[in-house]
A = this chain, B = another copy of it.
Amino acid sequence: MARGATAPLYQQIADELRTQITSRALRAGAQLPTELALADKHGVTRATARQAIGVLINEGLVVSSRPRGHFVRQVDRMIYRPQSEWRPQPASPEMDRFMEEQTSLGREPSQVIGVELVTPPDEVARRLDLDSDQTAVVRRRVRFIDGMPFNTNDSYYPMTLVEGSPIMYPADIPQGANQVLTELGAEQVRAIDEIEVRMPTPDEVHRLDLSAGVPVAVHRLTGYTHDGRPVRCTINVLPGDRHVILFERAKPAPEHETDSTTPGGEPHRVDGSLADRGTQ
């Protein structure tokens, strides 16, 4: 495997730089050698040095700031906890160690970009059990932290359900959308979370101000009433360099006590009709 001698030059250069980065010889935020300096040092042209740096950029290790230079990316992730819709405070005491945050939280202008009436995209219609001609209300927002876009959050509700309720108006809902659903007689008591990982679309790159080498997690939440009726479908797009997704679980009350082997269990191939963005 380690063919060393025959590895392409740009790989060798990239490897050397990567080692310096992972070993912290080059710290987060530090500047890399300029393309010309790299090229000189290794006796190659600037194009080859550029190719080496390109590798690191696509690995998400390096950002380039023209024309200042290339720099080691610094990431700090914030905790994203889907369960907080029901449990503002974690239930497990163990959770504490993950929450020792520098509580910079607070400021969260949670800018609701708008409310629209739409015929929902397929992936949403299927999850909400809507026919292709039924409309849905979508509340789109982009959340910011310190003025930086942080994630996007599109919540779809069946139009027939939320008609006339505060959900239809682009104002903040102080008591929360869940409370509104409860008052409408459609309390959300169960939810299914799907998390998918991929590179962002150009649109997402633009809306979230992503740089190269940053993947996103797509978190799809479908909420159900007690009798299994879907009442909302939320699609969150979370930049990978800004989030850690956190769940806490407890072993369910013993019914039949069937212990399985390992987490992850048997993989099931996803039904094509639900495997969205099949080729992207």
Contact = CB atoms under 8 A, between A and B. Distances in A.
A48 interface: no
A262 B153 contact: yes
Contacts of A273: 100
Interface residues of A, number: 123
Contacts of A1: 206
A178 B259 contact: yes
A5 interface: no
B245 A195 contact: yes
A67 interface: no
Interface string A5-27: 00000000001001001101001
A58 B58 contact: yes
Nearest to A139: B262
Interface stretch (A35-43, A90-98, A158-166): A90-98
Interface string A250-270: 111000001111111111111
A60 interface: yes
A279 B24 contact: yes
Contacts of A201: 59
A104 B272 CA distance: 13
Interface string A29-73: 000000000000000000000000000001111000000000011
Given A247-B192, A270-B244, A279-B74, A264 B80 contact: yes
Contacts of A61: 279-280
